A and B are shown apart, each in its own frame.
Chain A
Amino acid sequence: MANNIIHSEFLDRYLKNKLSEAERMAFEEKARQDPLLGSELNFQKDIYKALGEARKNALKSRLNQIPVNEIGWYNGYSIKIAAAVSSVLILATGTYFYFNHTAEEDLLSGVVNIESNITPDDHLHQENLSVPVPKKDELEQATVETFAVEKKKNIQNEIVTIPAEKKTEAGEKNNSKALLPDITRPELVTDFEEETQGVNYKDFEIPAEKMMEHTLYENAGLDVENIVHHQYNFHYQMIEHKLYLYGNFQDTPYKIIALNFDEGKKLFLEYNEHFYRLNNKQQEIASLQAIEDSVLLKELKKISTKK
């Protein structure tokens, strides 16, 4: 009996608790009466349990590789953060023009000054946010006028309808925080109190250095799809702001990093301790080329490992 059972689907169903109550009881009764079967059953239960533990450990190891220092700060609260980050980006860009600095490091510093003429960045509409569009004269006052006007159109097209009560709530918050734009958060979980979520909005009035730490954000607001392809094994393409990664990216976690340059946001892929440039307009499949520029590499590493 035991030999027939060992590798049977029946045993697997028993181990996975998929037998009916009657089947399970009958099987256990049989195992009680047959010591050999009973012993085999215990043996198989041990192995089943150990395989489960091994899988859990594998998944935990995977999760442990994900850096958590720079995450969570903005998660679920993307609107206000996005607005704050956007203002920093704009200011940093403006500062760049003003002082005509060339080093990338200079772009990563700057004074946080949350202005009312904030213009949202790409990642805002990736988060399905509804963002008020500044009036034309406000746009003209913006430091990066062209950038702002281009985004205006996109944002109007991607505004997400939200329940009225949420709009009201967002509006109230906006009144109390006049410096932040009226942005709603359709993805926000409403099951918890704000306090439980652990976010203190005062956090946004923080030094520029800290703000800029978070220009490194989750997948840079990108939708990413991994494609296993016989011909393209380490390639990518970018279609409609969606990144298609060709190759085996399943086993090793990767990270998308967004950096802000005077000409706009640039994306980088960090994978297996190497960095690769991602061209936003790369519609054709192209191979991933490792970055060799030592200054840029140093900056990317610094940002990626920043505690």
Chain B
Amino acid sequence: MKDSDVLERISRGDERALDDLYRKYYKMMTGIIIKNNGTEEEAKDIYQDALIVFWQKVISNQLVLTSKISTYLYSVCLNLWRKELDRKSRETNDDQDFDFAYFDEDTKEREAIIRECINQLGDTCKKILMYYYFDDMSMQDIAEKLGFSSVDTAKTKKYKCKKRLDSLVRAKYSASDFLD
């Protein structure tokens, strides 16, 4: 599995390339976290996050890779782990009551509402919106991946799906008084 093949496969949204990468460097990357005082579960979580960062950057053409994929993943893993250690350190040092005082219940509730609304969408709608907004795939690629007859069909579907999601969220926000 050459790096160039992986990049090419990810660029066209082949999620199995991510599976292959995951398997290939699992031991190496999780080993780094574990050696730096992480648990196996934390290591797995960080490694998955790093892979997803890599996935998003490649698929949205934001990454010009000048090193090996493993080197890139290694540095992302370490950065993410450093951040996590910082967060844990702050959590330990800060006064717990202080945290609670700034605990934003509203934000959490809004997030939960949107999550629920996304789950109410059909599978195709969910995929279109996730591919468009997170993966930043072109409408052409989305049309091909989801088997739409044309780019225009993909555009129309994206428009309708987004409109439906907005409506669902607005309705729930209204019911929860978020739109007052």
Tell whether, in the assembled complex, residue B18 and residue A62 are in contact, meaning their CB atoms are under 8 Å apart. yes
The answer to whether A197 has its CB under 8 Å from any CB of chain B is yes
The answer to whether B79 has its CB under 8 Å from any CB of chain A is no
Q: When A52-B133, A250-B16 are in contact, do A71 and B28 touch as well, CB less than 8 Å?
A: no
User: B interface, how many residues as a size bin?
Assistant: 35 or more
In the complex, chain A residues whose CB is within 8 Å of the CB of B169 = 43, 47
The answer to whether A196 has its CB under 8 Å from any CB of chain B is yes
Most buried by B among A53, A71, A72: A72
Q: Please, what's the 1-or-0 string for A202-235, where 1 marks a CB less than 8 Å from any CB in chain B?
A: 0000000000000000110000101010000000
The answer to whether A145 has its CB under 8 Å from any CB of chain B is no
The answer to whether A76 has its CB under 8 Å from any CB of chain B is yes
Tell whether, in the assembled complex, residue B55 and residue A59 are in contact, meaning their CB atoms are under 8 Å apart. yes
The answer to whether B157 has its CB under 8 Å from any CB of chain A is no
Which residue of A has the minimal Cβ distance to B67? A191
Tell whether, in the assembled complex, residue A7 and residue B162 are in contact, meaning their CB atoms are under 8 Å apart. yes
In the complex, chain B residues whose CB is within 8 Å of the CB of A59 = 15, 18, 48, 51-52, 55
Tell whether, in the assembled complex, residue B24 and residue A76 are in contact, meaning their CB atoms are under 8 Å apart. yes
Tell whether, in the assembled complex, residue A56 and residue B27 are in contact, meaning their CB atoms are under 8 Å apart. no
In the complex, chain B residues whose CB is within 8 Å of the CB of A56 = 49, 52, 134
The answer to whether A271 has its CB under 8 Å from any CB of chain B is no
B-side interface mostly: helix
Tell whether, in the assembled complex, residue B19 and residue A50 are in contact, meaning their CB atoms are under 8 Å apart. no
Number of interface residues of A (CB under 8 A): 46
In the complex, chain B residues whose CB is within 8 Å of the CB of A60 = 48, 52
Report the minimal beta-carbon distance from B29 to chain A, rounded to whole angstroms.
9
The answer to whether B90 has its CB under 8 Å from any CB of chain A is no
In the complex, chain A residues whose CB is within 8 Å of the CB of B165 = 47
Report the minimal beta-carbon distance from A186 to chain B, rounded to whole angstroms.
10
How far apart sit A116 and B149, CA to CA, in the bound complex (Å)?
59
The answer to whether A48 has its CB under 8 Å from any CB of chain B is yes
Which residue of A has the minimal Cβ distance to B123? A251
Tell whether, in the assembled complex, residue A50 and residue B115 are in contact, meaning their CB atoms are under 8 Å apart. yes
Q: Please, what's the 1-or-0 string for B39-59, where 1 marks a CB less than 8 Å from any CB in chain A?
A: 000001000110110010000
Tell whether, in the assembled complex, residue A76 and residue B28 are in contact, meaning their CB atoms are under 8 Å apart. yes
Which residue of A has the minimal Cβ distance to B27? A72
Tell whether, in the assembled complex, residue B159 and residue A50 are in contact, meaning their CB atoms are under 8 Å apart. no
How far apart sit A253 and B18, CA to CA, in the bound complex (Å)?
11
Tell whether, in the assembled complex, residue B15 and residue A52 are in contact, meaning their CB atoms are under 8 Å apart. no
Q: Which 8 A-B pairs have the closest CB atoms?
A: A72-B27, A198-B31, A55-B134, A50-B114, A55-B130, A189-B70, A72-B26, A71-B23
- Excluding A48-B133, A228-B147, 9 further A-B contacts by CB distance (< 8 Å) are A12-B133, A46-B114, A51-B130, A59-B51, A59-B52, A63-B51, A189-B68, A197-B31, A250-B15
Binding site for B on A (CB under 8 A): 6-7, 12, 15-16, 43, 46-56, 58-60, 62-64, 66, 68, 71-73, 75-76, 187, 189, 191-192, 196-199, 218-219, 224, 226, 228, 249-250, 253
